[in-house]
A and B are shown apart, each in its own frame.
Chain A
């Protein structure tokens, strides 16, 4: 299957740690990328590869994977982290790219 499944919404108290998950068969073979998208803005890459961050992304953001489930962990959540988060990987069969449905993160 090429699908990536994410919880539609997650909330976290200010300053706490939150984990956003992504499930899919392709994750057994390929590391996902994670994107943050705020309203009216294009997506922003926050995690790629095993657990790499582009320049400018704080180390509060980290990625991990276990079996067919990938996680994006945000430590010490801030109000500015409130956004939609998307995982992205590859379709095993057709070498296509695929996105998860997105998780809306609310910081309380």
Chain B
């Protein structure tokens, strides 16, 4: 059974930083292209960014609203995906999902109060 389990969410002040983790099991993580997708309260899905597998180049892409502030990385030895979020804004408040698009975690809530 594939499991993606996010952690690291919480309350952070504007301008602060937070690091999310996503632990994967039941999937060949090293071969997986992994994305972060977020959902603001009551809103739709928004793609945040993606990291390719090492065999796919290991490169990253980011959505315009987070480019330069967020960094996606991976540790294939620990089957773990990361999202480093810096210079957080109120509009970053959302549930953050780790996903292969085929499989999704339950999400972790990040709150940046105004």
Contacts and interface: CB of A to CB of B under 8 A. Distances in A.
A42 B104 contact: yes
B61 A99 contact: no
A35 B35 CA distance: 15
A99 B43 CA distance: 12
Contact of A97 (B47, B102, B104, B105): B47
Contacts of A48: 101-102
Q: Chain B interface secondary structure, helix, strand, loop or mixed?
A: strand
Interface in B72-109: 97, 99, 101-102, 104-107
Contact of B101 (A45, A98, A100): A45
A88 B101 contact: yes
Interface in A27-84: 33, 35, 37, 42-45, 48, 54, 84
B44 A42 contact: no
B45 interface: yes
Size category of the binding interface on chain A: 20 to 34
B63 interface: yes
Given A95-B61, A97-B50, A102 B44 contact: yes
Interface string B41-55: 000111100100000
B105 A99 contact: no
B64 to A, nearest CB: 8
A101 interface: yes
A43 B47 CA distance: 13
Interface of A: 33, 35, 37, 42-45, 48, 54, 84, 86, 88, 94-102
27 contacts: A33-B101, A42-B97, A42-B99, A42-B104, A42-B105, A42-B107, A43-B37, A43-B97, A43-B99, A43-B104, A45-B101, A45-B102, A48-B101, A54-B102, A86-B44, A88-B45, A88-B101, A94-B61, A96-B63, A97-B35, A97-B101, A98-B47, A99-B44, A99-B47, A101-B44, A102-B44, A102-B45
